[in-house]
Structure 1
Amino acid sequence: MIGVVDSRTAPGLRARPVAVPVCWAATVLVFVLVVAMQAVKGDWLPPDISVSQYGVGSTGWVFSAFLVVLGVSTLLWWTRSPRARTSLVLLVAGALGCMVTAVVRTDPGGLQQSWTAKVHMAGSVLALVCLPLGMRILLAASRAALRRAGLLVTWGSALALILLLLAAFGLDTAGLGPQDSWAMWQAVAVVLDLALLLVVGAGLTRLRPADDRVDRSTGS
């Protein structure tokens, strides 16, 4: 299903494309913030406990800013693509997941016993599932090499999520113990999603004019 492009477009969507430099500025800011959130914590990927722990404490706002800008940047790139309804739905869902994860903090120490920690986890799962799928669809009109690269990264992200889920059930999927496996596969999923964001940027920046004038009524 990851490689299938939905050809249905969202009727009535005529948002003006955001300028490429603005899209890239948001993308660069995502990478600045992901480095900053690790630096202020002194905990580099893969984290000691989990990626969500970057949001705990007085420096948690950097983690929150990273997630918000990540969600926004994918939507900015969407304005420059042939806009299939499925991609918009997935990216909005992923951005909402980022927002929930940014605003609702997890428990310190990674126990995830409170209701806020459970809401935080639900938001992170939504983001980790929907964002890569939505970004993959954005590459529909890009060059073949970039489409293949996007598909490869998306499958890698999906595999990381499966191994992450198995680690959550107590399986040692990385040979590091369940907890460290959980942290490692979280980090792998995040890094792959960031790599996919770069592929999307490259694909939509390099669209030929003929590709960019896709019929919005058919999505072809």
Structure 2
Amino acid sequence: MSVQNLLALNWKMNKTPAEARAWAEELSEKLAADKPELAVMAPAVALPALAAHLPPGVTVGAQDVSAHEAGAYTGEISAAMLVDVGARYVVVGHSERREYHGETDADVAAKARQAQANGLMPIVCVGEGLDVREKGEQVPHTLAQLSGSLDGVGPEVVVAYEPVWAIGTGKTATADDAEELAAAIRTALRERYGSEAQHIRILYGGSVKPDNIASICAQPNVNGALVGGASLKVPDVLGMVDALQ
């Protein structure tokens, strides 16, 4: 694959705007010019501070977006609002949104379509729970989720495979596990988008750290990582960047 690796750093519900600025300034001091693409997926209130203080070439993204363009949707944040504060990416369908907020594949697809309509690149998350993995049904489960989550969505997308049993648990899918699903996802993307599927990045997410990221991202169909806990400390981010060089 000729596409550049993407490190999407998902802070989840962590860091105030002041803390985000300090993190960005520390990263600016220490990050080498030669690096994979970095995108910081921060809480919406921290995006302006990040956009103003991140080093050149590091982008920002959001962790969710409304499926609606605008209107009477109290508490929601539109794609146009995110673009206006500098966001380039947005995560949709993260397992925590699916589990805690009941988001369906149709909800995820609606959000992805809204993101694309406003020039945001959606990072569409799919993956199986432990019960599905133990039954050996991880491939059909994940591909069904992918199909529903990409309904009406164009090829300007990133797909993140996140085995739910490996998120925040310290358990990590092996490099072979990651490639098994990434290869299946790639085949499904080819069936949907044709030759354009070769340019779609497939990320792995789930307890990614400096000591395991290189082996995972060395797989033929894995083009980076969606990183949770290890994204919160600049030294860990630098360690992952170094591991990928």
With structure 1 as the length reference, what TM-score do the two structures score? 0.29
Tell which has more relative contact order, 1 or 2 (C-alpha 8 A, sep 6+). 1
Please state which structure has a larger fraction of its residues in helix: 1
Which structure would you say has the larger Rg?
1
Please state which structure has a larger fraction of its residues in strand: 2
With structure 2 as the length reference, what TM-score do the two structures score? 0.27
